């Protein structure tokens, strides 16, 4: 039997929206992939991954490991050349106790990195951070375009951006403190608001907004916006950050120009309203949003972002990784189209 020479890549949080696309991207490029999941007990959570691997004739193995426990991480990284650390809690609402997010995000990153340091095989880790670790909590410079030189201010942040900022900081500190014999490289991807095709019937946190618009769960569009990026382009960025030598020691923002929810709704309305959907395109006044927020925790979270523009630059990723973004219209339409295909949004 021929010796297996294709590098083995560990992708953490394989059940997740972004990780699924990372796995597909790696398999398409001939890598062998091992994915971690919290539990293998429910085969439904991973059947889309097995289907993709089989369609591509790729090598995919799934193992159990939880960010909150040491168990399984050493075995998970064994023999891997690269690790894409994608797993981190990303709930749609602010938890009662911020440690529900910060604990697994920071503790989990350290566990994964410690296993890499101990492995003797891992050359580079690519970690999924977020623009939430770059552009949040700044009291000054409103309207400034944020770059990789910026860090969110955790003291001024909700649990999620705080968890992403502290986890990314912990990762950089961890690798900086490694003795030479255990050293490996770190690169970080900071995606914006991720849109694009669903691989299974779990719309995830970022898809929830598109779902709400498609089923008219909101009567109008809140005046909030974000810097969008396609999940397929995020997966490509992870692969490039793994392959491009210059990426070592760098963080890369991957996100496009600011997009208001209302502009996203208009794209959906043009495409789907002629097919029987009733995507709202009006603007939700602040006072009405405030009333909705009393009953909906996700709206309560969104209140803090009203009127705020997410201005970030992906110039560094474009320059150093050769990374490009597909048009945002394509990402918006593909999100909704696959939601209909997966039954997340009823077919009309
Ligand atoms: P998902 O919720 O789809 O994926 C999160 C993944 O993390 C899931 O596989 C989940 O496992 C796993 N996870 C959560 N808690 C634990 C834990 N304690 N132990 C092990 N695994 C755990 O979210 P996304 O795919 O959207 O997000 C993936 C990463 O990308 C996160 O780090 C997120 O912060 C980041 N990100 C996401 C953006 C977006 O807009 N979607 C934007 C910027 C960054 P399980 O299925 O068992 O719950």
Q: Is 133 in the pocket of ligand 1 (CB under 6 A)?
A: no
* Radius of gyration for the alpha carbons in the chain, expressed in angstroms and rounded: 20
Length of the chain: 348
Partnered with residue 8 across adjacent β-strands are 32
Q: Kindly give the distance from the C-alpha atom of residue 2 to the centroid of ligand 1, in angstroms, as a whole number.
A: 36
pLDDT of residue 3: 56
Q: What range defines the domain where residue 72 resides?
A: 7-267+294-341
Measured torsion, CA atoms of residues 35, 38, 39, 40, in degrees rounded to the nearest 10? -10
Task: Note whether residue 287 is domain-resident.
Answer: no
Question: Which residue from 271, 274, 258 is spatially nearest to 332, judged by alpha carbons?
Answer: 271
Q: Is 190 in the pocket of ligand 1 (CB under 6 A)?
A: no
- DSSP string for 74-88: HHHHTT-SEEEE---
Q: Which of 90, 193, 230, 251 to mutate to test the pocket of ligand 1 (most atoms within 8 A of CB)?
A: 90
Q: Is 193 in the pocket of ligand 1 (CB under 6 A)?
A: yes
Q: CA 177 to CA 194: how far, in whole Å?
A: 32
Task: Note whether residue 328 is domain-resident.
Answer: yes
Q: Is 38 in the pocket of ligand 1 (CB under 6 A)?
A: yes
pLDDT of residue 1: 47
Task: Note whether residue 44 is domain-resident.
Answer: yes
**Ligand 1, closest atom to CA 193?**
40
Q: CA 162 to CA 170: how far, in whole Å?
A: 12
CB within 8 A of 206, min separation 6: which ones? Answer: 17, 90, 193, 194, 195
pLDDT tens-digit map of 243-297: 999 999 999 999 999 999 999 999 999 999 999 999 999 999 888 888 888 887 7
pLDDT of residue 32: 98
Q: Is 104 in the pocket of ligand 1 (CB under 6 A)?
A: yes
Q: Is 204 in the pocket of ligand 1 (CB under 6 A)?
A: yes
**Ligand 1, closest atom to CA 45?**
46
Task: Note whether residue 2 is domain-resident.
Answer: no
Q: Is 90 in the pocket of ligand 1 (CB under 6 A)?
A: yes
pLDDT of residue 304: 74
State how many domains the chain has.
Answer: 1
Alpha helices in 131-203 (DSSP H): 159-176
Task: Note whether residue 275 is domain-resident.
Answer: no
Q: What b/e readout covers 136-155, taking b as 16+ CB neighbours within 10 angstroms?
A: bbbeeeeeeebebebbbebe
Among positive and negative, which fits the CA dihedral 310, 244, 115, 169?
A: negative
pLDDT of residue 237: 99
Number of alpha carbons in the 13 Å side-chain half-sphere of residue 250: 21
Task: Note whether residue 278 is domain-resident.
Answer: no
Per-residue pLDDT of the chain (348 residues), as tens digits, is 455 689 999 999 999 999 999 999 999 999 999 999 999 999 999 999 999 999 999 999 999 999 999 999 999 999 999 999 999 999 888 899 999 999 999 999 999 999 999 999 999 999 999 999 999 999 887 789 999 999 999 999 999 999 999 999 999 999 999 999 999 999 999 999 999 999 999 988 889 999 999 999 988 998 999 999 999 999 999 999 999 999 999 999 999 999 999 999 999 999 999 999 999 999 998 888 888 888 877 777 778 778 888 899 999 999 999 999 999 999 999 999 999 999 999 999
CATH label of the domain that carries residue 102: 3.40.50.720
Task: Note whether residue 206 is domain-resident.
Answer: yes
Q: Kindly give the distance from the C-alpha atom of residue 87 to the centroid of ligand 1, in angstroms, as a whole number.
A: 5
Specify the pTM. 0.97
The first and second tokens of residue 249, run together, are 């020691």
Q: Is 127 in the pocket of ligand 1 (CB under 6 A)?
A: no
CB within 8 A of 340, min separation 6: which ones? Answer: 214, 346, 347
Q: CA 204 to CA 141: how far, in whole Å?
A: 32
Q: CA 150 to CA 48: how far, in whole Å?
A: 37
Q: Which of 11, 12, 13 to mutate to test the pocket of ligand 1 (most atoms within 8 A of CB)?
A: 13
End-to-end CA distance of the chain: 52
Task: Note whether residue 282 is domain-resident.
Answer: no
Q: Is 68 in the pocket of ligand 1 (CB under 6 A)?
A: yes
pLDDT of residue 4: 67
């Amino acid at each position: 039997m021929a010796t297996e020479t294709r590098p083995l890549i560990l992708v953490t949080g394989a059940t997740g929206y972004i990780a699924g696309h990372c796995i597909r991207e790696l398999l398409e490029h001939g890598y062998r992939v091992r994915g971690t999941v919290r539990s293998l007990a429910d085969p439904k959570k991973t059947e889309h991954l097995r289907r993709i691997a089989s369609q591509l004739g790729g090598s995919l193995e799934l193992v159990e490991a939880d960010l909150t426990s040491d168990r399984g991480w050493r075995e998970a990284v064994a023999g891997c050349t690269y690790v894409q650390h994608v797993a981190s809690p990303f709930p749609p609402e602010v938890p009662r106790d911020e440690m529900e997010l910060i604990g697994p995000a920071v503790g989990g990153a350290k566990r994964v990195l410690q296993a890499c340091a101990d492995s003797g095989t891992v050359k580079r880790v690519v970690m999924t951070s977020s623009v939430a670790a770059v552009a949040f909590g700044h009291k000054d410079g409103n309207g400034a375009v944020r770059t990789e030189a910026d860090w969110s201010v955790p003291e001024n942040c909700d649990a999620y951006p705080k968890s992403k900022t502290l986890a990314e900081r912990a990762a950089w500190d961890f690798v900086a403190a490694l003795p030479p014999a255990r050293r490996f490289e770190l690169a970080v991807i900071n995606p914006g608001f991720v849109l694009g095709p669903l691989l299974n019937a779990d719309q995830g946190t970022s898809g929830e907004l598109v779902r709400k618009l498609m089923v008219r769960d909101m009567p109008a569009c809140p005046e909030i916006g974000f810097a969008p990026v396609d999940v397929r382009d995020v997966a490509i960025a992870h692969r490039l950050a793994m392959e491009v030598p210059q990426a070592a020691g760098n963080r890369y923002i991957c996100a496009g120009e600011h997009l208001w929810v209302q502009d996203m709704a208009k794209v959906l309305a043009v495409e789907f309203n002629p097919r029987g959907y009733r995507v709202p395109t009006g603007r939700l006044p602040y006072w009405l949003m405030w009333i909705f927020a009393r009953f909906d925790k996700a709206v309560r979270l969104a209140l803090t972002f009203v009127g705020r523009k997410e201005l970030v630059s992906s110039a560094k990723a474009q320059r150093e990784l050769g990374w490009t973004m597909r048009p945002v219209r394509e990402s918006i339409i593909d999100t909704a189209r696959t939601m209909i295909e997966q039954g997340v949004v009823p077919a009309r």
